[in-house]
Amino acid sequence: MMIRIATFAVTALLSAATALAQDAAPAPPFNPDAYPPEVRRALRYGHEECLRAGGGKVTFAPDTVRQVDLTGDGRDDYIVDFHHTACAGWESTYCGTGGCTMEILVTLPDGKVRSVFNGRAHDIEISPDPVVKSARPRTIRFALHGSYCGGFGSQVCNKTHRITAKPFAFRQ
């Protein structure tokens, strides 16, 4: 009886350890070829900027590109966010006091992809999907450098913008 209980306990522990090991498996490598040419062009910035800074290899995080419908038209739009991108030998290439480099690209009705925002932000928060599923653009709250609200440095300035196919920028 004791041997059966011990065997059961060991089997349960091994099963739990196997499940934990599977959960801890690394995410698949980032694949820029999975995105449209316009998104890949935005990603090339990462390589070019790293080389200009004197850095080496660029490592994109799995969440560098997010696909989400921002314009409310049912098509995937893209947020290219360099927050977790690494430039070997020059770690501050993509981020600074103004936040991190990001670009928002929207898919147009003809299937082309257009950049509508290219700048820096500390963080973004996308409004939840509308309850009523109509063609309604989403709003993004951008946490920007304090100078966008008349402040300075580490002060954070929050600005919101409804995402459409029209390019926009924030002014200091």
Give the global pTM.
0.80
Residues of the chain by 3-state class (helix, strand, coil), percent to 5: 25, 30, 45
Q: Given a cut of 90, is residue 152 above it in pLDDT?
A: no
DSSP E strands in 31-107: the ranges are: 58-59, 65-68, 77-81, 86-87, 95-96, 99-107
Comparing 10 with 158, the larger pLDDT belongs to 158
The pLDDT-based confidence of 132 (bands split at 50, 70, 90) is: low
Across residues 60-83, what is the average pLDDT? 95
Reply yes or no on whether the pLDDT at 38 is more than 70: yes
Tell me, yes or no, whether 10 lies in a domain: no
**Is position 88 within any domain?**
yes
Flag whether 83 is in a domain. yes
The residue ranking higher by pLDDT, 168 or 152, is 168
| Sequence letter at residue 109 | P
Range of the domain at 93: 30-162
Q: Is residue 54 a part of any domain in this protein?
A: yes
Place of tokens 């290439």: 93
Q: Which two tokens stand for residue 5?
A: 């209980």
Structure tokens at 131: 């309850």
| Joined tokens for residue 53 | 């800074």
In a domain, residue 71? The reply is: yes
Domain count, the chain: 1
Least confident of 6-15, 36-45, 54-63, 100-109: 6-15
3-state secondary structure of 1: coil
Q: Residue 134: its pLDDT value, please? A: 59
